[in-house]
Structure 1
């Protein structure tokens, strides 16, 4: 396989994503291991290698002597064509073995628009797409990640079992369970008894798995350093899991609750080890809301003092924009950012209160004023349109708030620039708004037109999400197993890598829905209070 791969690498873009052997990648003797597992992300290498979950599971599995874990990702279009032309199977990066040779294949699924990629990977691996068609000689296919934790139903026909919630402890139990059984049916029956595992063929109720002690949870101090630039190209330490805020639209709040913190001592220890073992020039302390980490000031200042001597920058994403956070950024970041972000989500206080977004206009203006006063010239705002009860007054509120912030900025600098990024509200499973209606493409475009007409002027910029991709995300977010036929049909029609705008074709999806006799509109409607929800087997 390796020899054949060497022949086609000169013919494709970014060949380094297919060759493995990166710093800290692990290579084990195939014949010396009792269980072979491949884990991957159903998108390109540059996206998947930024996925922390894959790095964590790779570290945990390879730390066990008789278990081998290797990686895979979706190929680019040019590579896919060559694999088919040369009759080659999709392979792992470490040993170049066909994926079909592994005992288990795991997907970390972070987004609904990667579902056709999952199907495509199975097809390119010469593994039956539907779970019901697999036999004793086929790998067990499992999936986890934010998208399927909320609602695995649209892809349950393709997956043998799902891991719902945190994986650090559950993956060990899954491995032990598989090793103790021989036959496929017995393995799935035993897996269904593990907390956090949902097996579609059995239909068991699965309760989200929660790791209670992050300090005790394994964390990779030798993460793989990619050969090519990735989406998040830096060292990462997760300081906290979960969020205190509880915004009613937020699926991440549901997927990652309750709030758990890593101790400051552990965070600092991990940071030192990771930087020593990787050579990164930037360290990011990540969580859903870093400002809520109880020891953020101590940890940030301690690390900043150390990292300055090594010429390593400290990044603090997800900070709440207030004077304390701005001061902390100023004191700790060697490479000063020229921009900060804030997420009002709605333009009026009424709508922010309705969504439980506990942020007043005075707090927003005070925060951006503090940022501008420290030399920051660019502010990025995140808003949603289509929220429940939204009126034109709320849209006007987005315009007014953006202009007020730009005006504040001009008091400090002539270079003040405010970017308002507007996405469409998508009702997500398990949130307080899970039964709400999602607005149509036409309504989305009308609201975007309103903002384009009025949100303009010196130092103002408006960006918006594509209405069609938002529609699809919403359909699959609250979808049921009937959508598996649509996914396969869209894939047959050429849909893949849909999260990349150059590949996305809404007409392909429209034709797929039509061919399957399924109405998109049905999935966008409000769900009646007493109607059973597709994701009712998942307990968060």
Structure 2
């Protein structure tokens, strides 16, 4: 899931004639609950639309949620919600009150309505070694007819901007014998397309054994896809295995060509390792490499952007005929990470254009993500409950970038500006919208990691 998926929620509720706001629902209407990465990270912009929000891993939460609901299913709506609020990881937004210094000001405090409601809700973490796999394989899925197997969860590298790492800590790996092989054998009974899923798949401690397992002759007709991998784990063996299984390209994340900037974000990677990964991929028979980059990283200077240009030119020279694609996004602050206090750098759009101009003239495929939509993503990533009225207006105006500006203009004086949510660097002692929702690491640890970065 990602932030802009909220539009789909609105559509489903309207289709079912269920009021968008939880406060407007009656005893006869169902409780609306949600979960997943976006709501676990920062549910506050969407808090007024959900009766119940599950924070964390479903393996832990769903069973406890269902059991608790069964105990009060015939009680009043309020009794049900108050009972569910006692379950670890279950967040009932309506049982918490947010106060502000002013309509346009910072949050003053976030409190539970009374002492019987937990003041903090802790994200739940599943610590088993049996990870998830597809339950439905269909040509109508986003990844058509692919059976997805989760190899790892979280990432041990802990880049300081990365929600996929910090929100899902600790790093967990699926058991090869108990989880991965049974899941793969089950999936390949219905499709010959297999996807290995995870933020850092090749850092599984038994990845080589998994690779050997997949090179068996009985899997020669299987088309294998793999998620983004850590750069220094790209070997010729990996490339050969993927090429034989109809994979043409691989994806790595380098973020920047600047050693200085990579140290700031805790990206433990050298340019020589990036170069070797490209050479290994080419020698192993892959046709190209997609490289993830980022602009607007806190502390970035123009020299760092130029370092990315220089790196891409050097990679192209080292691997002639090998297709290189740089996909580049703008830094977006994410909750529960050390960089949650930073805003989006307004110069990022210019830096994307600078990269595009210099790289395309060198024959390098450059694919920037929309800066303007990154701004909206940041708005929702750092938003609070006051945005609920804005989201309703945007829904009425039509989902477009201009609709957000128009909605802010109409609500002027009733909430902070877009620049406050998106671009401002927030004070370390400021009350954050998700202050009452505890992620894997305490705020003091995040502040320490931030200090280490700077």
- Report the TM-score, using the length of structure 2 for normalisation: 0.86
Measure how far apart 1:428 and its partner are.
0.6
Find out whether 1:523 has 2:429 as its counterpart. no
Q: How far does the alpha carbon of each residue in 1:309-353 deviate from its partner, in whole angstroms, 9 at most, with x for none?
A: 5x2223332322346533123136533433222211012000001
CA distance in 2, matches of 1:390, 1:458: 23
Does 1 or 2 have the higher relative contact order (CA < 8 Å, sep 6+)? 2
What secondary structure, in the 3-state scheme, does the structure 1 residue paired with 2:155 have?
A: coil
* Native 8 Å contact 1:304 1:333 kept in 2: no
User: In the alignment, which residue of structure 1 is the partner of 2:186?
Assistant: 273
User: In the alignment, which residue of structure 2 is the partner of 1:464?
Assistant: 368
- Give the alignment partner of residue 219 of structure 2, picking from 272, 285, 308: 308
Measure how far apart 1:449 and its partner are.
2.2
CA distance in 2, matches of 1:483, 1:451: 33
What secondary structure, in the 3-state scheme, does the structure 1 residue paired with 2:9 have?
A: helix
Q: How far does the alpha carbon of each residue in 1:84-118 deviate from its partner, in whole angstroms, 9 at most, with x for none?
A: xxxxxxxxxxxxxxxxxxxxxxxxxx111122321
Measure how far apart 1:458 and its partner are.
4.5
User: In the alignment, which residue of structure 2 is the partner of 1:107?
Assistant: none
Q: How far does the alpha carbon of each residue in 1:265-306 deviate from its partner, in whole angstroms, 9 at most, with x for none?
A: 021011112222xx2111122111011100011022113316
User: In the alignment, which residue of structure 2 is the partner of 1:240?
Assistant: 152
* Native 8 Å contact 1:156 1:481 kept in 2: yes
Measure how far apart 1:242 and its partner are.
1.6
CA distance in 1, matches of 2:343, 2:404: 21
User: In the alignment, which residue of structure 2 is the partner of 1:330?
Assistant: 240
CA distance in 2, matches of 1:450, 1:458: 13
Find out whether 1:251 has 2:146 as its counterpart. no
Find out whether 1:131 has 2:22 as its counterpart. yes
Q: Gaps (5+ residues) in structure 2?
A: 97-117, 440-454
CA distance in 1, matches of 2:409, 2:431: 25
Find out whether 1:284 has 2:195 as its counterpart. yes
Q: How far does the alpha carbon of each residue in 1:221-251 deviate from its partner, in whole angstroms, 9 at most, with x for none?
A: 7x22325353353011112212110000001
* Native 8 Å contact 1:239 1:286 kept in 2: yes
User: In the alignment, which residue of structure 1 is the partner of 2:334?
Assistant: 428
* Native 8 Å contact 2:298 2:342 kept in 1: yes
Find out whether 1:474 has 2:397 as its counterpart. no
- The Cα RMSD (Å) is 1.8
Count how many residue pairs are aligned between Structure 1 and Structure 2.
410
Q: Gaps (5+ residues) in structure 1?
A: 1-109, 496-504
CA distance in 2, matches of 1:332, 1:158: 44
CA distance in 2, matches of 1:427, 1:196: 23
User: In the alignment, which residue of structure 2 is the partner of 1:152?
Assistant: 43
Bigger CA drift: 528-537 or 447-456? Answer: 447-456
Measure how far apart 1:419 and its partner are.
1.4
- Give the alignment partner of residue 511 of structure 1, picking from 388, 406, 415: 406
User: In the alignment, which residue of structure 2 is the partner of 1:535?
Assistant: 434
- Report the TM-score, using the length of structure 1 for normalisation: 0.73
Superposed, 1:273-422 pairs within 5 Å as 273-276=186-189, 279-305=190-216, 307-308=218-219, 311-322=221-232, 325-331=235-241, 334-410=244-320, 415-422=321-328
CA distance in 2, matches of 1:350, 1:133: 52
User: In the alignment, which residue of structure 2 is the partner of 1:449?
Assistant: 353
Describe the shift of the 1:306–1:376 C-alpha distance in structure 2 as closer, same or farther (beyond 3 A).
closer
User: In the alignment, which residue of structure 2 is the partner of 1:118?
Assistant: 9
* Native 8 Å contact 1:144 1:164 kept in 2: yes
Describe the shift of the 1:409–1:457 C-alpha distance in structure 2 as closer, same or farther (beyond 3 A).
farther
CA distance in 1, matches of 2:363, 2:141: 31
Describe the shift of the 1:332–1:119 C-alpha distance in structure 2 as closer, same or farther (beyond 3 A).
closer
CA distance in 1, matches of 2:145, 2:431: 43
User: In the alignment, which residue of structure 2 is the partner of 1:206?
Assistant: 121
Bigger CA drift: 191-200 or 337-346? Answer: 337-346
What secondary structure, in the 3-state scheme, does the structure 1 residue paired with 2:348 have?
A: helix
CA distance in 2, matches of 1:230, 1:433: 31
What secondary structure, in the 3-state scheme, does the structure 2 residue paired with 1:344 have?
A: strand
* Native 8 Å contact 2:223 2:245 kept in 1: yes
* Native 8 Å contact 2:27 2:77 kept in 1: yes
What secondary structure, in the 3-state scheme, does the structure 2 residue paired with 1:157 have?
A: helix
Find out whether 1:186 has 2:96 as its counterpart. no
* Native 8 Å contact 2:154 2:198 kept in 1: yes
Describe the shift of the 1:460–1:220 C-alpha distance in structure 2 as closer, same or farther (beyond 3 A).
closer
